[in-house]
Every structure is written in C-alpha cells, then in structure tokens.
Chains A and B, each alone.
Chain A
Amino acid sequence: MPQNETIQDLGLDEYKYDFVTETEPVFRAEKGLSEEVVRQISAHKEEPEWMLEYRLKALDVYNSKPMPKWGGDLSSLEAVLDEIYFYVRPQDQMERSWDDVPDEIKNTFEKLGIPEAERKILAGVGAQYESEMVYHSLREEWAAQGVIFDSIEDGLKNHPELFREHFGTIIPMHDNKFAAMNSAVWSGGSFVYIPKGVSLDTPLQAYFRVNQERMGQFERTLIIIDEGAQAHYIEGCTAPVYTTESFHSGVIEIVVKKNARFRYTTIQNWSNNMYNLVTQRSMVHENATMEWLDGNLGSKLTMKYPSCYLIGEGAHGEIMSIAYAGDGQHQDTGGKVVHVAPHTTSSITSKSISKGTGRSTYRGLCKVHKGARHARSNVECDALLINDTSRTDTYPYIEIEENDASVGHEASVSKIGEEQLFYLASRGIAKDEAMAMIVRGFIEPIAKQLPLEYAVELNRLIEMEMEGSVG
C-alpha cells in the first residue's frame, strides 16, 4: 500500500488524541454513583417512568453483584469509580447540522477528522462528547428509505415500541456487573434500524470522545437489522491523557434478522488511563451473518468479548479481533460464539501484539448447545511477543454437546525470529523497519478488513511503536 505519503499526512508521532478542549458543561452530576445521580440522568432525559424504574432496578443489581475476580486487575477500580463523574451533559440538545454544534466541541471533532470523513464516504455520522450525543446526521437518501440512525435517547422518544421490544433483551441487566451499571446510568449511544431489504452501501460511523478528566462514559447502542437488510457500523473512541483514571463501559445490543448481514467495527484508541469494560452481543437469526471487527489499541485495561448467539438455522458469526498492548496496558479481549440452531457456522480470528510490559489476553468461548446439529466453528489465535517483559495468555473455552459438531481451536505464540530479521537485514532493510514489516505482515489478514483510514493509522502506530524496540 502507498503508506509513505498517507502516513506522513497523518503526522502521528505521538498519541495524537491527547488534547483537551476547554468546555463548560451545562450540567454535571455529583461524582460517584448513587440513586440521586441515576434520577438526575433520567430527569435530564425526560424519560418515561418505566425507564427510570428500569435504571433504579439495575442500580440494585449492580450493587448486589461482586467485582469480577477474573480478567484484568480490577482491584483499584472501586476507588476509581468513587472519583468518577457518571454524567456530564455538554450541551442541551443534539444538533442535526454541523454548523450548530458549539465551536469548542466542533473543533475537537474537526481535529479528529469527523466532518471530513462524513463528507467523504459515510452514510451517517454520530458524535458523542462526554455523556451525550452532540451530533447525529444521516444522508437524506437513507432516511427516505426508512433507515433510522439516531441517538439512543431519540430512539426511545421517537420509536418507543421498537425500542422497548428490544432494549435490554439481548443483554439483560443481570448479565454482568458492568452491564448492570450501564443499565442504570446509560447515556448516549446510537439507535439504528435498517428496514427490510435495505442495503447501506457505505458505513454509519459513531465517534466517542471523552474530554474531561475523571469522566465516565456509558453509551448504550441498540441496532436492529431487519430481514434481508445490510449495513456496516463503525465506532471510534479517543480521550486525552490524564494522570487520573477514566472509565468507559458501553453496552451494545444487536439483532440481525433473517437473511440480513451486519458488520460492527470498533477501533478503540482510548488513552492509557482508561478502564474500558464493554459488553457487546448480537442475536443472529436464520441465514443471517454477523461480523465483529474489534480493534483494541488504547486503554489501560480493556475487557471486551463481542459475541454472536446463532439462534436461527444457518446463521453465521464471525469475530476478527486485533489487540495491541504496549507498556502498562492489558488487553483482555476475545469473543464468544454460541451455537443454538442447526447448521450454524462461526469463526474467531484473533491476533495480538504485546510490547514492553504490555499484556494481551485472548479469552473466548465456543459453545455448541444440544440441538445445534452440524455446527461448525474454527478459532485461531496468534500472539506476537516483542520484549522479554511482555506477556500473553490464551483462555479458549470449548463446550460441545453435539457429536456431529466440528470444532477446532489453534493458537500459537512466537517472537520475531532472528532468521526473519537476518534475512531482511541481508536485503538492506534496517532492523526497526524490518520489525515493523514483520508485525504488519502478522496483522495483515485482519488489518486489511479495516476501513482505509484506520488501516493506515494502525500501520503507522505499529511503525512508531517498533522504533527502538530492537535490542
């Protein structure tokens, strides 16, 4: 790929999202999580009574569940959460026109290249700043066909029946502690509906930005892809680097109906002080296809396992995951495929790179339930270790209750071989460059699935990270 030019254009020589915008929020709840905060959030959103009750019930569930003992190190999280602002309202209403977004916020997103991206290729763009979506737009042609791409709050307001039919059904509040937390304090996120037979030929993109220090972001996204429809949704996440910790816990619920096809791409590049604990799940119906493309580059600790429940005959689920753990980072990621119906197929491909004191963990589940006859699944995990202080783990759970299932798992761990470096050196390629080249080759099968601008950025990041890693 013609990377030299594009990479220079990007001018990425450090964590380029590390800038703070001076903005005055219109409302900020007290720090910490309490019933009062939950009620304030609900009041600000002018929600129906049932949603307030739902939130309060979820708060009880959250309080009753213990901190997970597995995964990453959450030992100091409770103290962090006490200092976090769970709700920060940056402006009073969401804008439909970019010109109406307040200048400071607009500048932030312009630095991140959002309006530019919209002009270029996207079918729709959403932007979340702190706790609220500040901007949402959808191309006229798609709106005319009945496509809904809105903030989750507007989804609840304008499409109450569709909303209520699905909200909290794919990821119930009891699912896990952080799903319960999100159910109590959710704010922002997208509501997407693609009507029967409609194929979006360009992606929808949502952009999540945490700006303020000690901020907690809890977006909630609900996506319904109706029968035979097709779409691609991309989310990107960044935040400035603070010395204190921030927290992000999203819940993403997706329904892919009969014969539909959907891809959800995440490029998470949170700053390295962010806890990123996300629950993402899809219900995949008859002959439908769900694809997760999950890129985890930032955050201090990420725990995220996108999942596909293959509940209709012939459903297909695919999870492609790429993780990069640099100094002090722990990427605890992977995926879950649950085969419930016959003739369902799935694959998980995971690639991780650990550098410095970074740690990457693959954690996954492949489950074939009784009755899911002729299920097929394949899981492949490859890990690359750059330094002797780096760490990688693989924890794949394989649970099979049907004898005509065919399930395979393979994983390998390696470092960059001396022979490889030697060969490239003999061809006149310097070590740094050779390392970057080998790493790029390692992630290529997944990177090539990424939208172009992210693929370019990923390559650049790797090149930068490999500098000085030899020796």
Chain B
Amino acid sequence: MAKAVAGMEGVTSALNPAAVERIGMSEPEWLRERRAHAWDVYERTPMPTIRLEEWRYTNLKKKLDLNSLQLSDAEAMSDDASTWPERLRAAMDEDREASGHIVIIDGHVVHADVDKQLATQGVILESLQEAITNHEELVREHLATDAVPAEEGKFAALNAALWSDGIFLYVPKGVQLELPVRVTRWLSEAGTAYFSRVLIVAEAQSQVSYVDEVLSDDFESQTYTSTAVELIAREGARVQYVAVQRLGRGAFYQSMQRTLAQRDSKLDTLNVALGASVTRVDLNARLLGPGANSDMLGLYFGDDDQHFDFNTSQDHVAEHTSSDLLYKGALDGASRAAFRGIIRVLPGAQGTDAYQTNRNLLLSPESRADSLPNLEIEADDVKCSHGATVGQLDDEAKFYLMSRGLSLIQAERLVVLGFLGEVLAKLPLGGVVDKVTRVIEQKLAQHG
C-alpha cells in the first residue's frame, strides 16, 4: 500500500490526469498520446530525494510544495505592447535589435515576429502550439523524443505531460541569422505552475543565436516554472543558446536542457541565474559527431537565501569532440550554490578534449558552496581535466585597487565584476553582456 502511494507522489488537485486531458483537448492524437504516456511516467517515478546523487544538494521536500500550486488560468493578453507590464517592455527596449521576437506572458505566446527576409528563406519562429498545426511533422519528430523525453526523470515527465506552450525555432540549411532571436517572458500569477518548452532545430551549416529572458516581480506564494529546452545542431551548424533568469523571490525556476551536436557543429550555452528563490538547471550536452564542440557557460549571483543548483553533464559519444565548461558564481547573504558536473567519455570516443571548471566566490560568512565535478573516462586517447575552487575575495587585488584610490566597497565590486566578467567575455552577445552586468551591479550595490 505504502508503495502504491509513493508511486503517485506529486499528483495534486491541480496536477492530475484531468489537467493533462484538458490541455491536450484540441491537439492531434499523437500528441495527446505523448502527454498521456508522459503522465504515466510521472506517476510511476518517485519524487527525487537527497539520497539521489543528482538531488543531493536540493531537498525538494523543503524547497518545493507541489500541492500548493495551481495551473494558470490567465487569459492571453493582446498583441499590443502598450498593455504589457512595464518591466517586460523595459527589458525588451534594452536590446531591440533582433532577427525576431517572441513575448510570452503567463504562459501564453502573445507576440511573435521574424525578419521578413529570413521568413522567406524558411526560418520559422513561432509558438509551439502554432507549430503543431503549421509544421506538424517537424515538431512530431523532435518534441520530447531525442532530447528531453519524459523518461529523463520525474520533472521531465511532468513537463512533457503538462506543457501549455513554448517556442519553436527552425533554421533551414545554410541560413545564417546575424542578429539573435530574442524571447522575453513575464510571469505574474503567484502560486501558479507554468510549463513550457523550447525546441530549436538548426539545419546543416546554419547559424543562430537565441536569448531567452524571464522576469517577474516578487511572489507572495511559491510560483513554479518548468522549461524543457531541446537544442539540435546538425552538421556544421552553429548555435548559441542563452537563458537569463531574473525572476522575483518566491519563484522556483527549473530548466531541463539537452543539446545534441552533430558532426562539426558548435553548440554553446550560457545560463545566467540572478533571481528566483530556487534555481535548478539540468544541462546535458551530447557530442554526437566528430568535430562537434560545446562551450558551456554559467554565471550566478546569489544573495539573501537564494538557492542555486546546477547539474551538468558532457557526454562525448563520438571521437574527436570537445567541450569546455565554465561556471562561476558569487554568493552573498545566506545564499547557497551547488554545482555537480560530469564529463563522460564513452568507449571509442578517442581524441576527446573535455574541460570543466567551477569557481565560487563566497562574499559573506553565511553563504555556502558545494561543488562536485566528476569525470568518467572510458577511452584512453583523451585530454580531460576539471577544477573547482571555493574561496573569498582576493585580498591582494582589493589592496591594489585601494592603493589606486578606490574605496573598499568599490574595490570589492570591481573584483567581483572581474571574476564574473570572465564568463560573459566568452560569449560576447550583443545586449546580454551589458544587461547582465547591470543587474549584477545592482545586486552588488546592496552588498555594501
């Protein structure tokens, strides 16, 4: 009896088979089946506990109360920017230049535009719900199949069962987007669970960068957002994915990402986590064809009681692939960060170059960092290394700056910015660097 109950963990008055049925009501049969299957996996999979290596540092019993969450009942806002929240518009105004925009408010895609010339070349940027109608075969082939299927785990299954909308980006062979695609999201309903997905397919020799920013005010009660991100780069494609998380307190941000890099492709990611009460990012990079490369960057800045948990893996499946991971964070107040990363070199993946570095700066006595960089190597002709450090501000650097006339506080800010700036310098995407630097400066101003 106890076992049957355990298997049903996470089934609530809002998250249940009826909700799955309702969301999929007008969808094609294959998708409704996919949702039902995902729900099945969700029910069967026990809730992860800290006894699992992957969840060692985030105790969901304390951090997430699924029972208190409702699904969104917000109506879709109009595609009229003047009706949108002020902060959302401000975030968009900071970097207007783009190949296309998507705006998502409370789970609904309210706006989508794409450069006309790119559209004629076959670039698709639209809501996932529209793509099901307009590009059914493409979506059917890739959605929750190769990259983030329900079988990935409890939360991947929950997302695959209950996602309401998301983004579909398709770049045809040889098409190169000079400007990034910009997605801006806004969440407003406290106590709500949001589920969305991102699916990006970059065909051979294409090029695209994608920036996804999510914002909100503080929430009075826990608000949960789950995103499944599936990135596919075909032969020789170049893809950059950037996620900037600037949610208010009270938010539980969860992102499950997988990148599939085929021969000679370059598939880079940057995860910036500045807001929310809890951040959990699962990122799995798979290097599937010779010559594939992934740079994986991460940056986080915590204060108060913010909690960050990054769980990354670099899977070298084919020979002559490379990956380089750099996650850096500064922690103030009583904030806490955990990094768990693994490099896996599979048998036969000769000629792998894989690196992994996690560095933490503890700015206050109450902050805490845990780091677990792992290696599993099953081929011999490889170059792999990893490093992790936890430490405080460099006294010498501070002293030098102060000898140049800076105050202690100014010197500290500069050292932190320099420490985190290394990550941004590796992916100098227009708009992103300035914006993230500004937010960090605001946070540092409170450090005083």
**Could you list which residues of chain A lie within 8 angstroms of chain B, going by C-beta atoms?**
70, 383, 385-415
Contacts and interface: CB of A to CB of B under 8 A. Distances in A.
Instruction: Please give me the 9 A-B residue pairs with the lowest Cβ-Cβ distance, nearest first.
Output: A403-B362, A385-B380, A394-B375, A412-B385, A398-B371, A413-B384, A400-B390, A415-B380, A410-B387
Contacts of A398: 369-372, 388, 390
Given A394-B375, A398-B370, A398-B372, A409 B381 contact: no
Nearest to A367: B370
A400 B370 contact: yes
Contact of A400 (B350, B362, B373, B376): B362
The majority secondary structure among interface residues of chain A is strand
B434 interface: no
A343 B364 CA distance: 18
B363 interface: yes
Contact of A393 (B348, B367, B374): B374
B369 A400 contact: yes
Given A385-B382, A398-B370, A411 B391 contact: no
Contacts of B348: 388
B378 interface: yes
Interface in B343-378: 347-348, 350, 360, 362-378
A412 B372 contact: no
A420 to B, nearest CB: 13
Contacts of B381: 388, 415
Given A405-B390, A407-B390, A388 B379 contact: yes
Contacts of A407: 388-391
B383 interface: yes
Contacts of B53: 70
B437 interface: no
Contacts of A383: 375, 377
Contact of A401 (B363, B368, B389): B368
B421 to A, nearest CB: 21
B379 A400 contact: no
Contacts of B373: 394, 396, 409, 411
B236 to A, nearest CB: 28
Nearest to A385: B380
A386 B377 CA distance: 12
Contacts of B363: 403
A393 B375 contact: yes
Contacts, number: 110
Contacts of A410: 385-387
A395 B370 contact: no
B13 interface: no
A397 B372 contact: yes
A408 B374 contact: no
Among B363, B377, B381, the one with the most A-chain Cβ atoms within 10 Å of its Cβ is B377
B382 A413 contact: yes
Nearest to A399: B370
A387 B377 contact: no
Contact of B391 (A395, A405, A412): A405
A391 B346 CA distance: 10
Given A394-B386, A396-B374, 19 more contacts: A385-B380, A387-B380, A391-B376, A393-B375, A394-B373, A395-B372, A400-B362, A400-B368, A403-B362, A403-B392, A405-B362, A406-B389, A408-B391, A410-B385, A410-B386, A411-B385, A412-B384, A414-B382, A415-B381
Nearest to A361: B376
Contacts of B385: 410-413
19 contacts: A385-B377, A386-B380, A388-B350, A388-B379, A391-B377, A392-B377, A396-B374, A398-B370, A400-B360, A400-B371, A402-B365, A403-B362, A403-B364, A406-B392, A409-B387, A410-B386, A413-B375, A413-B383, A414-B382
Nearest to A382: B385
Interface in B40-63: 53
A405 B369 CA distance: 11
Contacts of A413: 375, 377, 382-385
A406 B391 contact: yes
A264 to B, nearest CB: 27
A465 to B, nearest CB: 15
Contact of B376 (A393, A396, A404, A415): A393
Contacts of B350: 388
Interface string B154-197: 00000000000000000000000000000000000000000000
Contacts of A401: 368
A298 to B, nearest CB: 22
Contact of B377 (A70, A393, A395, A404): A393
B365 A392 contact: no
Contacts of B370: 397-400
Contact of A409 (B366, B367, B369, B389): B389
Contacts of A70: 53
A414 B383 contact: yes
A392 B369 CA distance: 26
Contacts of A399: 370
Contacts of B387: 408-411
A401 B362 CA distance: 9
Interface string B181-220: 0000000000000000000000000000000000000000
A395 B356 CA distance: 13
Select the residue from B348, B350, B389 with max chain A CB neighbours within 10 A: B389
Nearest to B357: A410
Contacts of A405: 362, 390-392
B233 to A, nearest CB: 26
A396 B388 contact: yes
A383 B380 CA distance: 10
Contacts of A412: 384-385
Interface string B292-327: 000000000000000000000000000000000000
Nearest to B375: A394
Nearest to A355: B380
B284 to A, nearest CB: 18
Contacts of B388: 396, 398, 407-409
Interface in B67-107: none
A383 B345 CA distance: 14
Nearest to A404: B392
A69 to B, nearest CB: 10
Contacts of B368: 400-401
Nearest to B376: A393
A98 B348 CA distance: 55
Nearest to A384: B380
B251 to A, nearest CB: 25
A393 B386 CA distance: 12
